[in-house]
Structure 1
Amino acid sequence: MYAIIATGGKQYKVSEGDVISIEKLGAEEGEKVTFDQVLAVSNDGLKVGSPTVDGASVEASVVRNGRARKVIVYKFKRKTGYHKKNGHRQSFTQVKIDKING
């Protein structure tokens, strides 16, 4: 059994027991979260919503909050002496899928 959920502007295919990293949520470690935007559920047959499946939800628990590896952004223009170095670390929340209600 799997489901396709939408969170943080992205879509994820999840099954029970999966641990996924998603865009940062405002939840602490150990809290339960519910995803209501379920685009499709496959139990015996595939149920596709338009745009979401009515009455379907996915329950998950927050494993940890963290930040990804640093991405270096380097801007450079030749012959002018212009260079600028910048870094970015994206925040994420790691969740474990507990139950798919379809």
Structure 2
Amino acid sequence: MYAVVATGGKQYRVQPGQELTVEKLVGDVGATVDLPAVMVVDDEGAVTAGPDLADRTVGATITAHGKAEYIRVFTYKNKSRQHKRRGHRQPQTTIRIDSI
């Protein structure tokens, strides 16, 4: 059994017991979150999607908060000696899928 969930503007294919790193979610470590299911496929292969999933959610537990790898951003203007260097680390949350 697996499901497709939507969080942070992206969709992820998840199974029970799987660890997943997503965009930052609000909550403390150990808190539970419910993610909306976009599609669910059961063990027999039957697909459920669309309005049939209005009340179905995927339960997950927050295991850690952190930041992604450092991204270097460099802008440069030719022949004018202008350049700017900065960086960015996107906040992210690691979750464990408990139930579908």
User: Could you tell me the TM-score, scaled by structure 2's length?
Assistant: 0.93
Q: Which region of structure 1 is more displaced relative to structure 2, 41-50 or 25-34?
A: 41-50
Which stretches in structure 2 are left out of the alignment for 5+ residues?
Answer: none
Letter in 1 for 2:70: K
Shift of residue 49, structure 1, vs aligned partner: 1.3
Hey, which bits of structure 1, 4+ residues long, moved more than 4 A?
A: none
Identity of aligned residues (%): 37
Q: Distance in 1 between matches of 2:50 and 2:18?
A: 22
In the TM superposition, 1:1-102 aligns within 5 A as: 1-35=1-35, 37-43=36-42, 44=44, 45-50=46-51, 53-100=53-100
Q: Distance in 2 between matches of 1:79 and 1:39?
A: 51
Shift of residue 23, structure 1, vs aligned partner: 0.7
Which stretches in structure 1 are left out of the alignment for 5+ residues?
Answer: none
Q: Distance in 2 between matches of 1:89 and 1:11?
A: 21
Q: How many residues align?
A: 98
Q: Distance in 2 between matches of 1:11 and 1:56?
A: 16
Letter in 2 for 1:39: V
Instruction: Please tell me the root mean square deviation across aligned C-alpha atoms, in Å.
Output: 1.1
